Structure 1
């Protein structure tokens, strides 16, 4: 079988299965099974498939995934996140576009706790969007920051997707987690800058309103009680990984333990909330691990069919600069991201991209950071970004998909601008990991 026939058949089969509603994990498995049958000698090849599945998830590098998910789940369901958002709200005062800026800050907080974009969008969209519309905010400004800040969950550590990307690509998990810190903060600042400038130019988009006065003593008290403790957990996790004192796995375990202790100190570790946290964390972890099982076998099938060497030879023979080649690869990811979710994009593209990365001599951590910024776009890119549909579900009843698409556009452009900056200035992403 020619390699291009196999690759075309794979994508057609995967797309068809996903369009008819089969979960992506099962779709990957079914398509891989067909490929194994055709390329590895019929039913005998399934023995190798089982070994590939076992080796793909029986690795210590993936242990941080369930730990970080459980940590975020505990903090989310115990109400730690809402306490943090309330404290941030107290400090914002009368800033222009206050609620929109609060949305970005809340999204950054939820990003450090949940690591799941859809969860942040659902929570912020159901609470802050109606409040902004009630205060007279333009609909695009009431929806856009929710979509943009929800996507921050992918780019602010501890990011589950960063661990998945690093494990699939064979990159350093520790360096990948540390490398996304600066881009994540930079993106949040770019969002806030856009909101403030827009409100200055178009004050009618965010009318001023009376804000409840909170004394300085109350602000300071609540900051020490409800903001600093959970943030300290995140800072200690990143500091432990950065300094080399703890591995990502050890940091994840310590962070999870600290989250349990913090929830208990707040009196929120009831049996019901504990059960809910464990159940939601287990569901998400199993889903991610099942999807990961398709990566190793897909990569092996690509190599066996000759697709890996053929695509690498074609890419390196192109008469274009390395930056142009990188932009072409990112454009491909951007187009794919319009239709499928991020983990699937990683599993589909990384086995194809890895040989090109090595052949071009690119720093894999730099590529991973640029890829992460691009994957963030997949959640809010029309027509099928998952966060767009979540937003439709929680937005006011008269909100149309056209409203949501228009609201997402400025934040899509900001993400593309950040991606261009990362490509043009790699040291922004590589400076912090170089200090490890």
Structure 2
């Protein structure tokens, strides 16, 4: 069988099973079994493939995923996240557009820990949009920052999605997490500048309103009580990885323990909150592990059938510069994001894109960061980006899709500008990991 026939069989089986309503992870598992039967000698091949797939789940690199997710779930269900949101809101005082800034700053913290752009968008949309609407904010000032927080959340550590991508691509988890720090800060700067410019040129977009004044002493106490402890756990977690004190797995354990201690110290660690936190983290972890299993076996089948080698040879046979091929892969991710969730997209593309990127001479950490940004941008790209429809579901009834598209474009532009900077200056991502 030719490589393109093998690729068509594998991908066609997945698409067909997804079309009849089978969950993506199970569709990949079923397609892998079909492929193993065809390419690896029937029942014996299926048994060997499943054994190899189970081996992929024993990697120590997977440990940070449940711990980072547990960290985020505790942060949310115990109310620690709400305390930080409220503190930032009060500290900003009468700053024009302050609720937009609160959304970016506080939302990024929650989204990073939760590892779910769809979940964080739904939460922030239902929490912040009604409040901003009641304060007279125009729709692009309330909706845009919420859609933009995903771009920050996916690259600023700790990011469960980055850990999963690194595991699937078999690259250094710690290096990918650390590589996102400088680009993440740059993107945050772009977002803040965007909000400032929108308020500057249209002061009525985010009208000021009276707030209870606070003394300097009260502000200091609020920072020390409700901001520093929460941010401190994240900073220490990341600093420990950068300094070589923690491995990514140890850093995740330290972060989860830190948030747990904070919740107990603030007397908000109830049995109900603990149960919801563990249940939420367990559900996403099981899905992530099933994804890893499916991806590992899919990669083996692509290699065993010759599809990987043939596809790479075909793609590199074009007279295209490596950057042109990068833009093609970026475009594929943008299109897939209109129809698929991020983890599903990774499952489909990582086994194909990373070997191709290596062949083209791209640094795998740098390419992983570009891919993470592409995954997030695709989620908010009109007309069919999935986050746009999530936002529509939690926005006021008079919000049109056109309003949501208009709000998304400036923040998509910020993310694309960051991608352009990373392509022009790769050391923005590679300097801190020392590559």
What range is the shorter-chain TM-score in? over 0.9
Pairwise CA distance, 1:115: 2.7
Map of 2:428 onto structure 1: 428
Map of 1:268 onto structure 2: 268
TM-score by length of 2: 0.95
Pairwise CA distance, 1:384: 4.2
Q: Is this contact kept in 2: 1:84–1:109, CA < 8 A?
A: no
Shift of the 429–314 alpha-carbon distance from structure 1 to 2, 3 Å rule, reads same
TM-score by length of 1: 0.95
Q: Is this contact kept in 2: 1:338–1:378, CA < 8 A?
A: yes
Pairwise CA distance, 1:91: 2.0
Map of 1:31 onto structure 2: 31
Shift of the 350–396 alpha-carbon distance from structure 1 to 2, 3 Å rule, reads same
Distance in 2 (CA, whole Å) between partners of 1:48 and 1:411 is 47
Distance in 2 (CA, whole Å) between partners of 1:118 and 1:358 is 31
Distance in 1 (CA, whole Å) between partners of 2:31 and 2:395 is 36
Alignment of 1:235-250 (within 5 A): 235-250=235-250
Does residue 154 (structure 1) correspond to residue 154 (structure 2)? The answer is yes
Does residue 210 (structure 1) correspond to residue 217 (structure 2)? The answer is no
Distance in 1 (CA, whole Å) between partners of 2:20 and 2:143 is 30
Gaps of 5+ in 2: none
Pairwise CA distance, 1:166: 0.9
Does residue 109 (structure 1) correspond to residue 135 (structure 2)? The answer is no
Shift of the 191–16 alpha-carbon distance from structure 1 to 2, 3 Å rule, reads farther
Does residue 409 (structure 1) correspond to residue 399 (structure 2)? The answer is no
Deviations 1:173-218 (A, max 9, x none): 1110000111122112211111111221122322232233222222
Distance in 2 (CA, whole Å) between partners of 1:150 and 1:320 is 32
Does residue 74 (structure 1) correspond to residue 64 (structure 2)? The answer is no
Map of 2:226 onto structure 1: 226
Pairwise CA distance, 1:399: 2.2
Shift of the 130–20 alpha-carbon distance from structure 1 to 2, 3 Å rule, reads farther
Matched position secondary structure for 2:396: coil
Count of aligned residue pairs for this structure pair: 435
Distance in 2 (CA, whole Å) between partners of 1:341 and 1:377 is 12
Alignment of 1:339-354 (within 5 A): 339-354=339-354
Map of 1:49 onto structure 2: 49
Alignment of 1:17-416 (within 5 A): 17-416=17-416
Pairwise CA distance, 1:383: 4.3
Shift of the 194–362 alpha-carbon distance from structure 1 to 2, 3 Å rule, reads same
Gaps of 5+ in 1: none
| C-alpha RMSD over aligned residues | 1.8
Distance in 2 (CA, whole Å) between partners of 1:246 and 1:84 is 26
Distance in 2 (CA, whole Å) between partners of 1:415 and 1:200 is 21
Distance in 2 (CA, whole Å) between partners of 1:166 and 1:231 is 25
Q: Is this contact kept in 2: 1:155–1:376, CA < 8 A?
A: no
Tell which deviates more after alignment, 17-26 or 173-182.
17-26
